[in-house]
Structure 1
Amino acid sequence: METNEIHRGRLIDHVHLVVRDLPASQRFYQAVFDVLGVPMGGVSDSFFWADELFVSTAASPAAQGQLTGRHHLAFQARDTAMVDAFHQAALAHCGKDNGAPGYRPYHPGYYGAFVLDPDGNNIEAVFHGEARRSAPSVKVTF
């Protein structure tokens, strides 16, 4: 039996987006994940996944033939430079600006950038300001 390993400890277990053009979405998310330091977990003709994000075509059994509606996903960034690089990479890979990098009034130190992915989902990278984590994630092996 193959050993699998996942990292948990955050509120969201996973998010599934069903997209019209899987290759366009894969190029967009690969560029974003490269900047954010998130490895692509798996790729096939009808889906790809990375961390807790699963993206598929409507033909995927999990999608049941339906596209998802517009969603807002926010990815964590290590610093403001990573937010800036996320925005640049997303725009260079078919993303559309939906809020240039900058400080937001949500709480002190909130620095984010927003783009629309090829299917119109609002994708954000956010740095919440200087903080210390007890661990980068929780590793679960099964």
Structure 2
Amino acid sequence: MAEIRLHRGRLIDHIQLVVRDLGASERFYRAVMAVLEIPVLGTDRGCFLADELVVSSADSPTAAGALTGRHHLAFQARDRATVDAFHRAALDHGGTDNGTPGIRAYHPQYYAAFVLDPDGNNIEAVYQGEAKRSAPSVTIEV
């Protein structure tokens, strides 16, 4: 049995997507997570895990029997090449283009790609540049 090391001390403990076709979703997420170097673990409980992301079928004991609505999930990428590879892997494994890789208006180093997963969730890979990645904290004016 494979092991996965979970990160602790983050805001989110986990996010669950309940999907129509678990096999199609697993193929999609295994491909994009491989590019992002995040291991995916299958289970015998109608779900699979990728760090804090749980993807399950509606009849899984981990779900409440209903599909989740559409969500936007943004995954960190180590560089622009990883964003590009994420986009290609997603399209090759059942994803639909929702924004080709490129700089976004959020800030000058925000390089991202967007795809829709097999259930229509907006999945993003983003590289925010070295300055953003190495900053220990962010100050927000309110």
TM-score category (smaller protein): 0.7 to 0.9
Could you tell me which runs of 5 or more consecutive residues in structure 2 were left unpaired when the two chains were aligned: 137-142
Q: Are the counterparts in 2 of residues 46 and 59 from structure 1 also a CA contact under 8 Å?
A: yes
Runs of 4 or more above 4 Å deviation: none
Per the alignment, residue 24 of structure 1 pairs with: 24
Per the alignment, residue 100 of structure 2 pairs with: 100
Counterpart CA distance in 2 for 1:69 and 1:115 is: 16
Counterpart CA distance in 2 for 1:7 and 1:33 is: 16
Segment drifting more, 88-97 vs 44-53: 44-53
Residues 102-128 of structure 1, C-alpha deviations (whole Å, 9 max, x = no match): 000112200000000000000000001
Give 1:6 shift. 2.0
Give 1:84 shift. 0.2
Per the alignment, residue 6 of structure 1 pairs with: 6
Normalised by the size of structure 1, how large is the TM-score?
Answer: 0.86
Q: How many residues align?
A: 132
Counterpart CA distance in 2 for 1:94 and 1:129 is: 28
User: C-alpha root-mean-square deviation of aligned residues, in Å?
Assistant: 1.8
Helix, strand or coil: the match of 1:109? coil
Counterpart CA distance in 2 for 1:44 and 1:124 is: 28
Counterpart CA distance in 2 for 1:10 and 1:82 is: 23
Letter in 2 for 1:31: A
Give 1:36 shift. 0.4
Per the alignment, residue 78 of structure 2 pairs with: 78
Helix, strand or coil: the match of 1:54? strand
Could you tell me which runs of 5 or more consecutive residues in structure 1 were left unpaired when the two chains were aligned: 135-142
Greater RCO (Cα-Cα under 8 Å, separation 6 or more):
1
Q: Are the counterparts in 2 of residues 42 and 50 from structure 1 also a CA contact under 8 Å?
A: no
Per the alignment, residue 138 of structure 1 pairs with: none
Q: Are the counterparts in 1 of residues 103 and 111 from structure 2 also a CA contact under 8 Å?
A: yes
Per the alignment, residue 132 of structure 1 pairs with: 134
Give 1:18 shift. 0.1
What pairs up with 1:48-59 in 2 under 5 angstroms? 48-59=48-59
Residues 91-112 of structure 1, C-alpha deviations (whole Å, 9 max, x = no match): 0000000000000011220000
Letter in 1 for 2:134: R
Q: Are the counterparts in 2 of residues 117 and 123 from structure 1 also a CA contact under 8 Å?
A: yes
Counterpart CA distance in 2 for 1:121 and 1:90 is: 12
Give 1:45 shift. 5.5
Give 1:44 shift. 2.8
Residues 122 and 4 of structure 1, relative CA distance in 2, 3 Å threshold: closer
1:113 paired with 2:113, answer: yes
1:122 paired with 2:122, answer: yes
Residues 126 and 9 of structure 1, relative CA distance in 2, 3 Å threshold: farther
Counterpart CA distance in 2 for 1:4 and 1:124 is: 22
